[in-house]
Structure formats: C-alpha cells, structure tokens
Amino acid sequence: MGVAGGMKCVKYLVFFFNFIFWLCGLALIVVGIMVQVSLNKTLKITDPTASAAPIILIGVGVVIFFISFFGCCGAFKENYCMVTTFAVLLSLIVIVEIAAAIVGYVFRNKLSTIVHDSVTDMISKYKNGTREFTEAVDNLQQNLKCCGVNSSSDWKGFSSEGNSVPDSCCKNVTKGCGKGTMTDTSKVYQEGCSAALETVLKNNILWVIVAAIVIAILQLLGIVFACCLMKGIRSGYEVM
C-alpha cells in the first residue's frame, strides 16, 4: 500500500511537470519568435548564424508543446507505452538543448563581429533605404542612445559638408537637430551603436541561459519521475 501511495504521488507529479513543460514550450516559442523578429526586422541583422539560436528555440518549443501530451495522457491513463514515449522524447529534447547551448556559446564568441558588420551595413544603406528601413535605424539609435557604428563620425558621408548626422542621433530629437552637430557632445550621442547593441544582446543572452538552465532542471526531474512511474506501472502496482 505504501508503494502504491508513492506511485500515486509520482503519477500526479508527472502530470504536474507536463503542465509546466507545456508552459515552457509555449514560452520558448514566444521567446524564439520575438528574438527572430528583433534580429531580422527591428535590428535588420541578416547573418544566418544569428538566426540559428532563435530557430532552434522555436523548434524545441513546438516539440515540447506537443510531447507534453504523451506525458499527461500517459500519466492519467497509466499507459506504460505513452509514458515511455514521453521519457524518450524528453531525453532527446535535452540532447537538442545541449546542442543549442553549444550553438549559443559559439554565437556568443561571434557576437561582436556579427553586430559590427550588421550595424555597418545598416549605416551604409541608410540614405537609399526604404522608409521602414530608415525608421528601424532611427529607432535603434534613439532607443540605445547611440550614433553610428563606433561613433558619430561614422556618419561623415551622410551630408555633403560631412559634419551632420541623422536627427535620431540627437539627445533631444527635433527636426534638423543633427545638422552640423556631429562632434557636439552636448547635442549628439557619441557612443557607437555596435557596442551599445552588443551589450543589450549579451544581457538578453544571459537571461536566456538562466531560463534554459531552469527548464533543463525541470526536464531532468520530469524524466526521473517518468522513469519511476514506468517502473511502477510495469510492476503492476495500482496507483489510482
């Protein structure tokens, strides 16, 4: 009776953890989509390496979202096959997440180069870009309080006199405020957007790593509880 009671507890723990996995899967999908949109639209970063991590996040989120079905149904019905399928698939997900962590680590080492090249490309295409593109660059400079790639002097080709910057570089944005004020520290931000953007991305990556560690711990616990439930079901204990 004591063992049966323990298996009943494990059964509900597996069911509870699957609900958590369902939420984690949904969260990974949302985070992956947000990162992908941010990199490829708002920030106009087109390097394919930068898209690898968010795509993996979305893929893992979708899989977790659906395999939680096997865990929930398997635990509720005490179905050995479904619980086993859940444990195996969840183990595979952990392996994929380890691979994603490796990709993230490699991306972290390439972050400076990717950001610098992307921001340089954005600055060079600013004058001939579409309205949506120029607005994205302006929003980037205003939100991060930066100007140019490495400094405001990167906008030397912006005007014929070589001493003007886009109005979005101004500390107080007004029409024409960037004209002739490239080196005026009281009116124009001097920090480049490459360093500012890199700092923001590294901070975001840190939070993603923390979230990934928490999810991985929950998944490992889920695998352990699923294996315990499998053992209980196979031994023929009544856990209802």
In a domain, 39, yes or no: yes
pLDDT, residue 2, reads 38
Q: Render pLDDT for 91-135 as a digit per residue (tens, 0 to 9).
A: 888 887 777 777 767 766 677 787 888 888 888 888 888 888 888
Q: Is the pTM of this model over 0.85?
A: no
In a domain, 186, yes or no: no
Question: What confidence tens digit (pLDDT) does each residue in 153-173 have?
Answer: 999 888 888 889 999 999 999
Domain count within the chain:
1
In a domain, 59, yes or no: yes
Return the pLDDT at 219.
79
Question: Residue 61: which residues within 8 A CB-CB, separation 6 or more?
Answer: 24, 25, 26, 27, 28, 29, 30, 31, 32
- Is residue 99 in a domain? yes
The answer to whether residue 37 sits within a structural domain is: yes
Domain interval for residue 49:
2-112+202-234
In terms of pLDDT, which residue wins out, 65 or 38? 65
Neighbours of 185 (CB within 10 A): 10
194 in a structural domain? no
pLDDT in tens, 185-218: 999 999 999 888 888 877 777 777 777 777 778 7
